[in-house]
Structure 1
Amino acid sequence: MITSFFEHEKIETTTMKAKELKPMIEKMITKARVKNINILRDLLKTIRDKDVAFHLLDEIAPRFSTRPGGYTRIVKTRRRIGDGAEMAILELVESGRSLSDKRKSELAAQKPKKKSSEETKSSDKEVAAKS
């Protein structure tokens, strides 16, 4: 759950799980504010994805460098239909672009652009003129 939280910078879970997760996440952000290899190794014990660990070190922690604590908030949302458990959203206070948003934008940049209708018409005319 911690890996998913740092990847998306927001997670919906039960209120009790969110309350248990919040102190662990805040301690990890506090550690990540000091950027060195020992901290990275310590973070990788909990966060199993290197991209997410680097996202925490390079983007999330610097946003909170001047903040003394209180990096996350719990917002109660609804009751789950199946068992009636109280649901909540655990999110960063100063939310930015999540890692998944960055991956989506990178993939979009890699895809070739489609031709517009005007370009298609002009290329059709060129093919017709050649034949």
Structure 2
Amino acid sequence: MKGLAFRKLGRTKSHRNHLLRNLVSSLIEHERITTTVAKAKEAAREAEKIITLGKRGTTQAEYATKGYLYSHTATLPKLSELAERYATRPGGYTRIHLFGNRQGDHAPRAVLELVDNPNDLKLQMTARAMGKEVFEKAEKFGPNSLIRGEKFDKDNMENDKRFNELTRVNMAKCVKFGGEEARNRLAELATEHYLRLKATREIEGPYRVDEDKVKSWGENGPRGRILTKPYAGRKVMAGEEGGPNQVRPLHGRKKNSVIRLGKGIFAKRQGWRKPTVVSSVQA
């Protein structure tokens, strides 16, 4: 925080120290915790220092980690494992994901995790993005115009120009220090998500009005102009093109923006445009 050495977290010095020690011990033991954003930022700073001490391997560093961590039978062996995992990583052992607001006091929450863990959230989200991009482009241009789900280039995937720029950046971050294991895991998850999207589309079909259900109502169906018809098929998510209720792009644009797609039927409609007047030259 600006002007402060660290966040006080509304606690006394001893209470704050015990709180951070508990958070860091839980993070090292479970590799992922959920807390408030302020606590996550302070716990991440302390966790970076403890993992760095664990990598040193000296007697003095060992005494320092023992004096800081709780549950030595669970945390100390895990710290040795993390020291081997991050042997080539110069720093940045933690990652913070925003996680909405807490029910009750509405405090902003966050997920604090160790990078390159077996259930790395960033790697899973990147794999989903890869699978989705392959699925959407295969539907648009045909399955033979793009790599298939089972043929991801594991050796050079972060430089594949067929993916979006942000996706390639995240791919490079996920495999930078993970090695061959991270590449195989990323390709495996991307393939799994691609095949799941493909199977869902084949089984459920596109998002459409469920005419069979409407007919089954007969005379007992609801009446009125504002009747919400039942739909079948895969739902169109926010920010995704397609769907029966998608509005037309605004005048002068070829496609809708992500915000306009997210608004759906509540987006601003095409307004009235003044017709073009063609002046006639009198002879």
Per the alignment, residue 7 of structure 1 pairs with 29
Structure of greater Rg: 2
Instruction: Using the TM superposition, name which of 58-67 and 36-45 deviates more.
Output: 36-45
Tell me by how many angstroms 1:34 deviates: 1.4
Tell me by how many angstroms 1:45 deviates: 1.1
What's the RMSD between the two structures over aligned residues?
A: 1.4
Give the counterpart letter for 2:69 in structure 1. Answer: I
Say which structure is richer in strand: 1
Identity %: 39
Q: Which runs of 5+ in 2 are unaligned?
A: 1-22, 120-283
Tell me by how many angstroms 1:55 deviates: 1.6
| Pick aligned residue for 1:86 from 83, 108, 127 | 108
Please report the TM-score for the alignment, with normalisation by the length of structure 2.
Answer: 0.33
Tell me by how many angstroms 1:48 deviates: 2.2
Task: Please give the secondary structure, in 2, of the residue aligned with 1:95.
Answer: coil
Say which structure is richer in helix: 1
Q: Deviations over 1:55-75 (max 9, x none)?
A: 20x201110010111110000
Instruction: Provide the rounded CA distance (Å) in 2 between the counterparts of 1:20 and 1:2.
Output: 10
Per the alignment, residue 106 of structure 1 pairs with none
Q: Does 1:34 align with 2:63?
A: no
Q: Does 1:96 align with 2:154?
A: no
Instruction: Provide the rounded CA distance (Å) in 1 between the counterparts of 2:70 and 2:60.
Output: 16
Q: Deviations over 1:99-125 (max 9, x none)?
A: xxxxxxxxxxxxxxxxxxxxxxxxxxx
Greater relative contact order (Cα 8 A, min sep 6): structure 1 or 2? 1
Q: How many residues are paired up?
A: 96
Instruction: Provide the rounded CA distance (Å) in 1 between the counterparts of 2:114 and 2:24.
Output: 12
Per the alignment, residue 127 of structure 1 pairs with none
Per the alignment, residue 119 of structure 1 pairs with none
Tell me by how many angstroms 1:21 deviates: 0.9
Tell me by how many angstroms 1:54 deviates: 2.6
Instruction: Provide the rounded CA distance (Å) in 2 between the counterparts of 1:48 and 1:85.
Output: 27
Q: Which runs of 5+ in 1 are unaligned?
A: 98-131
Could you tell me whether the CA contact under 8 Å between 1:40 and 1:53 is conserved in 2?
A: no
Could you tell me whether the CA contact under 8 Å between 2:53 and 2:62 is conserved in 1?
A: no
